[in-house]
Structure 1
Amino acid sequence: MGIMAPPLSIPLVAETGGSTSPPSSDLRARRAGRRRQMLAMTAGCYLIDAVILLIYAQAGTVPVTIAPSYAAIGILIVALWTALSESGFNDRFRDHYLVVPQSLASMMLTVTFCYIAPEVSILFLCTLYIVVAFASLRATPRQSAICWTFLAMGLAGLFLLTDKPLGMPHDSGLERLATLLVFLLTIAGCMSLGIFSSALRETLYQRGVKLTEAYRRIEELAEIDELTGALNRRSIMDVLDEELARSRQGGKPCSIVLIDLDWFKRINDTHGHPTGDDVLRTFAITMFANIRGGDRFGRYGGEEFLLVLPGAPADAAVRLAERLRQIIAGLDWSAFSTGLQVTFSAGVAAPRGDETADSLLARADHALYESKAHGRNRVTTA
């Protein structure tokens, strides 16, 4: 079968892309290597066809000159494409495999020999099927339409403008053997096509999974503070806006707790910035472990954090903040650095009517300031 089948080792997704910039030298080298594989397979298929034609010739079905003529022309065509490929000619085109020209050349050769040796036309007609099937894996709809049009014209001329009978030899044992080989190789080509298509689908699926995961990771990185794992400022502000809107619409309470780690600059200066980072991470982990599943915790800036408490009135928010304050103050921070002690001050506020997020935060910030002014390590309500 003189098929134009790309081997399974070449990329399953065409390397055309949308870029018009010239390919890099590494990419050109990889493409050239894959074209060599494809052309070597094509040459091998022409030789296999020639062997089958020799069997037909041995059976007396066709002249003995048919096989070497077909093989010689096929190899000559492959040599031409190889020379163009090695010269870098193919890399000038987006479709560096030159699907349409190569397919048309194979179709023209096959239809011509179908006319020259109609007694074994079954071989050439099966070859045409495989050529078209494999070419369609890389052809665009427009390229497929071009190939189909030229093939339709050639077959129409063969079937309608000639009176030569198109045969499927099966009279002698050798003819039956050769025809059996034609069908077996055609079936093998169809199976290869199926395997190739399955591999293509799997590759596309895996690439889709990786792209989805990459997109999810990008979104996650855009929302999460890398050091603490808490929501970043933009994300926690979005959460606050959404919760305030939900509270106004449903009439349900909500509260916020604005938290500031006490004397954090002193911690950095005395114990070092790596220790400061450990403090921030441990503080965030502890907070996550002791808040409700629906509560949202984010880094508001530096050592300031914002806790959004859906469904919690101010008194419940104060109780939670006080419990968290005691937990943080009770941790053994000396494991990070001798003499280290960490506490926080907090301001609690609940929205009033249609109060905006900025106004609510301003009141929570004022309450936080009051906590600091009265000695830190305490919770104050706005």
Structure 2
Amino acid sequence: MSKPLRPGPSSSSSRWAGWLLGPAEAGQGAVKLTLLALVVYGLFALNVAVQVHLGLMERGPALWVSCLSLAGITGFYLLVRTGLSRHLGRDPSLTLPQSVFGALITAWGYAVDPPLRGAIIAIMLLNLVWGMFVLSQRQAFGLYLFGLASLAVAMVYGATTDPANFPAAVESLHFSFAAILMTAVSVLSVNMARLRAKLSARTAELRAALGRIQYLAHHDELTQISNRRHLSERLAAEQLNQRQHGHVMSLVLIDIDHFKAVNDRHGHGVGDAVLRHFAATLHATLRTSDFAGRWGGEEFLVVTPQASAETAAALVERLRDALEAASFDSIVPGLHVTFSAGVAECAPGEDLHLAIDRADRALYQAKQTGRARTVSEFAQL
């Protein structure tokens, strides 16, 4: 009899990771950063405990600074881990509040740890580096000033209340040393923020350009409706659907009458305006299931899924009425625009090219017999 499988080490570690970091879809990057900060504060508290054990630091101040630092960073971790930080600002990591908190704790640690206060300056530098990849230029500079001011207050406090352990001359040198290092790190942080801002702007420009390219890949730039390529793709997909369900569809080829004369008489600018106006009227006339696009020049193709030639022809007549109501006077006073249309009913399984050829023949017949009319061809069964 086989024994039930027990969860291996990997599944146990996955459960622990899920418990500590939360669901992956919620974004674990911010939680990982805060958890790293929690580890750093834990190591700091351990170092303080060692100093107390060696008699280098008083137990009372050490306990306070360790407990409050661990409590504070644990609070930040819980805010980030539970997702509440997302409601407190645009940065789910709460980088700036964490850095300000770290600066205060570091300055406090400097004031209560005379033997190793010089080393604590390095922790203040860590607070500045922590926000280098997140904070804006203004925030990075503000954090630098706040951190430097916090250290200055701690130094002045120590030199005033405990001059034996905080000699004024030594504190002046410490401040100069801290100012030099923190200024250098601040300059790097501000430059990094500037580079990130430029990169963000370039990324936004690239996204906009990509969106424009994707739009133009499917739309005619002049009329803003589907282009021939997109029409062909949708037509192929619709024919596949037609074969699966066995219904007919109809294709309508539309040509604006005497369009060359409009260009010759009024110029290509007027011709472009006519095309845009016609396309907008056509789009407004379609049913939700229909789709249309510019087939080429002044020709437009309309696809009417699950529609007979009679239904498609009725749509064409609605377009005529809408075009009659849509005055072109705003383009050229008195300009009257008509069109000819050829309708081809396409049977399931019929070759699309043949159906479009039949619609083209019907359109040619409509133009040959006087224009401003519709000719229909029924499905070839």
TM-score normalized by structure 1? 0.51
> In the superposition, relative to structure 1, how do residues 180 and 209 fare at CA in structure 2: closer, same or farther (>3 Å)?
same
Within the candidate set 210, 219, 225, 1:230 is matched to 225
Candidates 203, 207, 213, aligned match of 1:208: 203
Residues 253 and 197 of structure 1, relative CA distance in 2, 3 Å threshold: farther
| Alpha-carbon distance in 1 for matches of 2:339, 2:190 | 63
**What SS does structure 2 have at the residue aligned with 1:342?**
coil
* Distance in 2 (alpha carbons) for counterparts of 1:192 and 1:170: 32
Aligned counterpart in structure 2 of residue 221 of structure 1, from 212, 216, 224: 216
1:353 partner letter = P
Task: Tell me which amino acid in the other structure corresponds to 2:213.
Answer: I
Distance 1:267 1:282 in 2: 14
Shift of 1:228: 2.0
Q: Is the 8 A contact 1:287 1:324 kept in 2?
A: yes
Q: Is the 8 A contact 1:257 1:306 kept in 2?
A: yes
The secondary structure found in structure 2 opposite 1:318 is helix
Deviations 1:53-99 (A, max 9, x none): xxxxxxxxxxxxxxxxxxxxxxxxxxxxxxxxxxxxxxxxxxxxxxx
Is 1:245–2:201 an aligned residue pair? no
RMSD (Å) for aligned C-alpha atoms: 3.8
Instruction: Tell me, yes or no, if the aligned pair for 1:325 and 1:378 is still in contact at 8 Å.
Output: no
Distance change >3 Å, CA 333–CA 126, structure 1 → 2: closer
Give the Cα–Cα distance (whole angstroms) in 1 for the partners of residues 322 and 219 of structure 2.
24
With over 3 angstroms needed to count, the CA separation of the structure-2 counterparts of 1:262 and 1:328, relative to structure 1, is: same
In 1: Cα distance, 2:235 partner to 2:220 partner: 17
Change in 2 beyond 3 A, CA 1:184/1:337: closer
Structure 1 residue 282 corresponds to structure 2 residue 301: no
Partner residue, 1:57: none
2:339 to 340, 344, 353: 344
Bigger mean CA deviation after superposition, 292-301 or 339-348: 292-301
The answer on whether the counterparts of 1:126 and 1:182 sit within 8 Å (CA) in structure 2 is: no
The 2-side partners of 1:188 and 1:294 are apart by 65
SS, match of residue 225 in structure 2: coil
Distance 2:258 2:249 in 1: 29
Runs of 5+ consecutive residues of structure 2 not aligned to the other structure: 1-115, 134-163
- Alignment partner of 1:350: what SS? strand
Distance 1:192 1:236 in 2: 55
2:90: which partner in 1? none
Deviation at 1:250, TM superposition (A): 4.3
Inter-CA distance 183–376: structure 2 relative to 1 (3 Å threshold): same
Question: Is the CA contact (8 Å cut-off) linking 2:249 and 2:304 kept in structure 1?
Answer: yes
Check if 1:254 corresponds to 2:254.
Answer: no
1:357 aligns with 352
Taking the aligned partners of 1:177 and 1:337, their CA distance within structure 2 comes to 82
Contact kept in structure 2, 1:322 and 1:378, CA below 8 Å: no
* 1:263 has 2:247 as partner: no
Go from structure 1 to structure 2 and tell me whether the alpha carbon gap of 1:307 and 1:192 turns closer, same or farther (over 3 Å shift). Answer: same
Which ranges of structure 1 fall in alignment gaps of 5 or more residues? 1-119, 138-168
- Report percent identity of matched pairs: 38
Matched residue, 1:318: 313
Instruction: State the 1:308 CA deviation.
Output: 2.1
**Does residue 378 of the first structure (1) align with residue 367 of the second (2)?**
no
Q: Secondary structure at the match of 1:333?
A: coil
Q: Relative contact order (C-alpha < 8 Å, sep 6+): which is higher? A: 1
Change (3 A) 1:292 1:200: farther
For the 8 Å contact 1:170–1:179, the answer to whether it is kept is: no
Contact 2:247 2:347 in 1 (8 A): no
Residues 173 and 252 of structure 1: is their aligned pair in 2 closer, same or farther, counting only changes over 3 Å? farther
Counterpart CA distance in 1 for 2:171 and 2:269 is 82
In 2, the alpha carbon distance for the partners of 1:333 and 1:171 equals 88
What does 1:129-208 align with in structure 2 at a 5 Å threshold?
Answer: 172-183=167-178, 185-208=180-203
**Matches of 1:271 and 1:192, distance apart in 2:** 62
In structure 2, what residue type is equivalent to 1:309? T
Q: Which amino acid aligns with 2:262?
A: I
2:177 is matched by which residue type in structure 1? V
By how many angstroms is 1:253 displaced?
Answer: 4.6
Give a deviation string over 1:276-321, Cα, whole Å, max 9, x none. Answer: 2222121112112222345332111111111123344433222111
Q: How far, CA to CA, are the matches of 1:198 and 1:291 in structure 2? A: 51
| Maintained 8 Å contact 1:170/1:176 | no
User: CA 1:198/1:338 → structure 2, altered by over 3 Å: closer, same or farther?
Assistant: closer
Gap change, CA 1:192 and 1:377, over 3 Å in 2: same
Alignment of 1:49-88 (within 5 A): none
* TM-score, L = length of structure 2: 0.51
| Cα 1:183–1:368 shift into 2, 3 Å | same
- Equivalent residue for 1:306? 301
The 10-residue stretch of structure 1 (357-366 or 275-284) with the greater mean CA deviation from structure 2: 275-284
Distance 1:282 1:195, change over 3 A: same
Q: Is the 8 A contact 2:255 2:300 kept in 1?
A: yes
